[in-house]
Amino acid sequence: MNQKKLTYLLIFFCTCFLQQAFAKHIIGGEMTYKCLGNGDYEIEMRVYRDTLGDGALLDSPAAIAIYRCGTNLDCFNLDQGDQNILFGANLLFQTPVAINDLLCLEGDAPGVEEGLYRFKLSDYGISLNLSSDSYFIVYQRCCRNIGINNIRNAEDRGSTYYVEITPEAQQNCNSSPVFNNFPDLVICQNFEMQFDHSATDPDGDSLVYYFEKPLDGGGNDLSDARVNTCIGAIPIPPCPPIANRAPFFTELNYTSPTFGETFPLGRSTTDGINSTVTIDSMTGIISGIPNIAGLFVVSVAVEEYRDGVLLSTIRRDFQYTVGVCVRNIEARIVGDVEVGDRAYRSTICQQNNVVFEHASTPEYAVGEIRWEFDLDGQNFVSTMEEAIVTFPSTGIFEGTLIVNPGSRNCEDRATVTVNILPETIADFSFDYDECEPGFVSFVNESSTLSDGIQEINWDFSDGRVYNSDNVEYLFPTSGNLPVSLTVRDVNNCTSTVTNIVPYFPLSPEIFVAPSASLACAPASITFDNLDTLVSDQYDISWDFGDGGGSSDVSPTYTYETPGVYNVNLDIKNQFDCRTVLELPGLIEVTPSPIADFSFTPEELNVVDPTANFFDNSIAAIAWDWDFNGVGSSNETNPSFTFPDTGMQVIQLIVTHPNGCTDTTSQLIDIFPSGELFMPNAFTPNGDGQNDIFIPVALLFGSNDFSFTIWNRWGEQVFFSDNINTGWNGTKNNSGKNSPPGVYTYLIEFTDSRGATKLVKGYATLLR
């Protein structure tokens, strides 16, 4: 980058950034990348700030630098002005972060805001060419919050967020892992905590997790000369990596011996050695019991391996608040009526096995669950999330939900009064004529152990309301039809029963409408059964009068032979009720002609495209010819000349004296290629008569032509790939004269249909 352009960018960034006061506000951040191909990458950076007090705003734009260094380019020799590229990334979104709802926390939780920066390098005209060195994409900012316990003078220390795109990552167009969740920034002192800090790799690579030291970046210098340097609050450009060290940037040391790289939240107070909070290297789960209250910086690194090769390392820097927690959890029971502070009432109809489920809040603070019920002097206890309680009888019972029983800080209780009501059972009977269509009689036979039934509701799936004890109902269709009855007793308990009514009536008279009564053979007739109640659930038997039949409701049948046919229909329902319909002489089928023709010649080509057609039909008095849509004729035996090559469809429709017709069609292939003719001798004596041995050809659409001639010793004396070039009797048409005698020729070509053709023969050379 030239000095003039760098100066302009420095002025641009400084004008934006110096409008913000120097303040302690950074509480975390991370940077990841996605390979888009062709040297383009999408970079995503998230920066988290404290919104309480006088915290500075998030940078917009954020100064981003790209450095290239590694095995071939020494990072150590770079300085702040040696960056490859400097540009400003705009702040896309500025969103409040929902702090985990710690009802047991004593005091106020911090206010946190997330700034999202996402950009493609191509948006800035940047393309990272494949390199044997790494690319470092860097952002730096000062300063961290005041009062952090595990780092000295944290308020004067900044942060570095970067990604390294290694040569291996470039070669594989690798994308970095992405963290799945953001940590609960507030946790309770002396309480068990667990957080899934895992990441997902889009390429399915292996991931390894570990704590590491957080990175410094910038400093607390606000002087005009240094504010944008490596010791200033706003490094522009961000400073380069450091050679021969990992993670390439300056690390912040933890305040030892209480805190360290593998125990950023401190050592155990019991042995002074073991870490109170650890991270699982395989799963990324952070767990343990923090025993020191305060503010703590934690840095998590994720290494990505493919086939044992390290492709990338991403880092997240964040600040934990370990607070003192007091009892403030609320026990809640799902689905029951709340009648007071943590007091519920449950009314249960017609059952003794009841499921109770809790919805206590906050979820993270819910540990052990305990249910206790007094069942007529018997104590029932369950430690399941859902308790299944079997009540011995009807009546009123008392129960208690205890959340975190025995916990000094976070135990809570809720009581529930359960009223088990008497049983009410819905039931009904029905009766009807099983043969003829008509009303079905329904009788309510429900029973109750309560003081009586208050409401009756029949459901026939027709959208209407039927509230009587007994109902007469006419079904519009047949079948196994569901009918439901719902009753409600004086306790407002309901019961519903659904029964299947097998309703298959038969009308004494059946009407059939054929699609045609007079038709030509072969005649396809549809017989429409007009009885709407008859379905395929009936036993149906059709007799079409020619030996054929069907079991369909409204079948379609084809008569092949002319004649007059009687049609009979026999229908039986599931109760052996039966209706028979006889229709004598219902269908008359008249004869049809048989269309047929032939033609000559059998093979046509572009040279001779005329065909002669000969009618071979039976019982025809009229002819209608169609020649592929380009010609027609009503003659008995017409001729036709085709104007084009290819497959031609010839259709003939003939008419019987009774008006019935028949149709047939055939294909004729008009070949585009013609013929090839070869002489058997030639005299190359220069008299202008028969001096050249050359094929006479009419080949249309042919290609890949090859013409060779061989003497009797197997020596090739002539070759040409041009059909218009012949042999003049000399070797390869330019050497000495070949002696008189018999020679073998071979012609090979591909015709217009893609077929390979071979022509072999003998040529006699005379001198």
- What pLDDT, on the 0 to 100 scale, is given for residue 106? 64
Question: Is there a common fold for 512-590 and 676-765?
Answer: yes
- 432's enclosing H/E stretch is none
**Type of residue at 80:** Q
SS3 percent helix, strand, coil of the chain, rounded to 5, is 5, 50, 45
As assigned by CATH, the class of the 597-671 domain is: mainly beta
User: Distance (Å, rounded) from C-alpha 405 to C-alpha 369?
Assistant: 7
| C-alpha distance across the termini of the chain, in Å | 85
Does the domain at 512-590 match CATH 3.40.50.720? Answer given as no
At 8 the pLDDT is 35
Q: How many CB atoms lie within 10 A of CB 143?
A: 23
Angle at 22 between CA 20 and CA 23, to 5 degrees: 110
Over residues 246-271, the mean pLDDT reads 85
Greatest mean pLDDT range, 248-262, 365-379, 490-504? 490-504
Residue pLDDT, tens place only, 285-330: 999 989 898 999 999 999 999 999 999 999 999 998 888 876 568 8
d(CA 183, CA 179): 10
Are the beta carbons of 328 and 106 closer than 8 angstroms? no
The two three-digit tokens of residue 487, written as one number:
């009753």
In the prediction, which pLDDT does 324 show? 81
Domain 424-503 has CATH 3.40.50.300: no
What is the rounded CA–CA span in Å between residue 40 and residue 128?
7
Q: Is the dihedral of CA 732, 733, 735, 738 positive or negative?
A: positive
Q: What is the reported pTM?
A: 0.48
Q: Which CATH architecture has domain 676-765?
A: Sandwich (2.60)
Residue 14: the pLDDT is 46
489: which strand partners?
453
Q: Which of 83-92, 155-164, 609-618 has the lowest mean pLDDT?
A: 83-92
The tens digit of pLDDT for each residue in 413-450 reads 999 999 999 999 999 999 999 999 999 999 999 999 98
Which band of pLDDT confidence, cut at 50, 70 and 90, is reported for residue 1?
A: very low
| % of the chain residues with pLDDT over 70 | 90
Rounded CA gap, 556 and 524, in Å? Answer: 7
Q: What is the pLDDT of residues 69-117, one digit of tens each?
A: 876 556 767 777 666 789 999 999 999 887 655 546 666 667 889 999 9
The span from the CA of 543 to the CA of 521, in Å, is 18
Could you say which of 2.60.40.10, 3.40.50.720, 2.60.40.290, 3.40.50.300 is the CATH number of the domain covering 337-421?
Answer: 2.60.40.10
Question: DSSP letters along 654-712, please?
Answer: EE-TTS-EEEEEEEEEEES---EE--SEE--SSSSSS-SB--EE--SS-EEEEEEEE-T
pLDDT class of 602 with cuts at 50, 70, 90: confident
Instruction: Give which of 652, 506, 615 is closest to 570, Cα–Cα.
Output: 506
Residue with the larger pLDDT of the pair 409 and 342? 342
Domain ranges of the chain: 3-323, 337-421, 424-503, 512-590, 597-671, 676-765
Distance of CA 250 to the CA centre of its chain: 44
Task: Label residue 53 by pLDDT band (50, 70, 90).
Answer: low
